[in-house]
Amino acid sequence: MKGKTTYTEAFEELKGIVAELEEGEISVDELSGKVKRAAELINICKNKLNATEGDIRQILSELENNEPGEE
């Protein structure tokens, strides 16, 4: 696998795992590995969302602190 996984890549892979689970396409032998990978993907998505939220909060805070006419 290449460098860091993007949110979109993680989300798409997670959707694939969920679809396999819903359709019963995963054998008992594969189940543990798929569940572990799903947990990793959920953490990747959660961390990226939290980082994005922090960035947005910082940007909004900076915008609020700028008075009209200041640049």
Q: In the prediction, which pLDDT does 1 show? A: 44
Domain ranges of the chain: 7-65
Angle among Cα 22, 12, 21 to the nearest 5 degrees reads 15
Q: Report how far residue 69's alpha carbon sits from residue 12's, in angstroms, rounded to the nearest whole number.
A: 44
Average pLDDT over residues 6-32: 93
Beta-carbon count within 10 A of 52 CB: 11
Cα(17)–Cα(10) distance, rounded to whole angstroms?
11
Cβ atoms 49, 8 nearer than 8 A: no
Q: What is this structure's pTM?
A: 0.77
Instruction: Give the tens place of pLDDT for each residue, 49-61.
Output: 999 999 999 999 9
